[in-house]
Amino acid sequence: MRASFRYLGRGSWLAQRDPRVKLVVAALFVAGVIQLRDTRHLAVAFAIALAYYATARIPLREVRLQWAYLTVVIVFVAGLNSVITGGRAGGFAQSEVHVLFVLPFGIAITAEAISLSISQILRFLAMAAVSFPIAYSIAPGDMAVAFRRLGLGDRLSFALDLTFRFLPTLVQEFSDTIDAQRVRGFEPIARKGGPLHRIRRLAPVFVPVTVGSLAGAEDTIDAMDLRGFGTGKRVWYRQVQMDQASWAVTAAFAAILVLATYLNLSGQSEHYLLPFLVP
């Protein structure tokens, strides 16, 4: 597990806060935003998430592909789900829906479907905005420390840290394998042909990547065993401390969770944008 997510938020206001803040804020925000149903409430939550994301100062040019992929997937899934259900997944009965127009094959586009789609897109994009700082504004060496200071055990903290490093390590293994095969005269990435042909060309890459990932995991386990990990109480060299700004941010998102819970329990989060979509 030699790779990790790039530390893109170095020096930003959010990166200077305790690493536990990013983890706790994401958990509080997700727990709150999943309770909201009103599109207007979700729009406010999305604006708050963007403001929080801006404090991490993550360069857009470095993560534009990740944002593009997430946006396409979220819009496609939310839109497809809304079209298929016709808005009835949001709690609307068949007799309550308002059909705006009908697509070929009898697919009806309703105001409820559009409202539901907008609310889902806002919800998932807001979750993504508060989650990105976890990957890009926490120093790679602080992840395990943050989990440990949250009360988790040494073993679980290191397990979560290694799990978090697995994806970038797998990407690095994939890139190294492709480079090695190119040196040997084989081009895994086909420039021509259909999707099946391209998948077949990549087939020789999957085996060494899988074997290399398993071998790397075994090496990590052996290295930790040789150093006596888990045989006694661990002393952590890296110390983290919550400052006033860290406590203020945590308290603000805790208040958002309380407000979202109140709106959900009181039934005030069930209003969609129908007055704006239907005359």
Q: For the chain, give the mean pLDDT.
A: 79
Tell me the C-alpha distance between 146 and 35, whole Å: 27
For residue 276, is pLDDT > 50?
A: no
Question: Interhelix angle for 111-136 vs 39-54, to 10°?
Answer: 20
103 beta partners: 107
pLDDT of residue 216: 76
Looking at the chain, the whole-number percentage of residues with pLDDT higher than 70 is: 79
Here the tokens at position 219 are: 């090496």
pLDDT at res. 277 = 41
- 237 or 69: which carries more pLDDT confidence? 69
Residue 268: the pLDDT is: 62
Residue 275 confidence (pLDDT): 46
Q: Do 123 and 78 contact (CB within 8 A), yes or no? A: no
Average pLDDT in the 100-110 region? 66
The lowest-confidence range among 57-71, 87-101, 231-245, 251-265 is 87-101
Note the helical H segments in 34-153. 39-54, 60-85, 111-136, 143-149
The predicted-structure confidence for 193-220, as pLDDT tens digits, reads as follows 666 766 777 777 777 777 777 777 777 7
Q: Which two tokens stand for residue 258?
A: 């309380």
Beta strands in 26-158 (DSSP E): 99-103, 107-110
114-123, 140-149, 266-275: the lowest-pLDDT one? 266-275
Q: Is 12 helix (H, G, I), strand (E, B) or coil?
A: coil
pTM: 0.73
Is the confidence at residue 95, as pLDDT, over 90? no
Note every long-range contact of 166-171, with CB atoms under 8 Å and residues 24 or more positions apart, other chains counting.
166/1, 166/213, 168/3, 168/4, 168/5, 169/1, 169/2, 169/3, 169/4, 169/213, 169/216, 170/209, 170/213, 171/3
CA dist., res. 25 & res. 249, Å (int): 8
**Above 70 in pLDDT, residue 4?**
no
Q: Residue 263 and residue 259: Cα distance in Å, rounded?
A: 6
What is the C-alpha separation between 246 and 244, in angstroms, rounded?
5
Strongest mean pLDDT among 98-112, 186-200, 238-252: 238-252
> Region 239-255: what's the mean pLDDT?
90
More confident residue, 274 or 50: 50
CA 200 vs. chain centroid, Å, equals 30
d(CA 268, CA 4): 42
- Cα(145)–Cα(162) distance, integer angstroms: 12
200 vs 165: CA distance, rounded Å: 28
The 10s digit of each residue's pLDDT in 21-51 is 999 999 999 999 998 888 888 999 999 999 9
More confident residue, 165 or 134: 134
Share of residues in the chain with pLDDT > 90 (%): 22
Write down the residue that tokens 């999957």 correspond to: 206
The radius of gyration computed from the CA coordinates of the chain, to the nearest angstrom, equals 23
Q: Would you state the pLDDT for residue 129?
A: 93
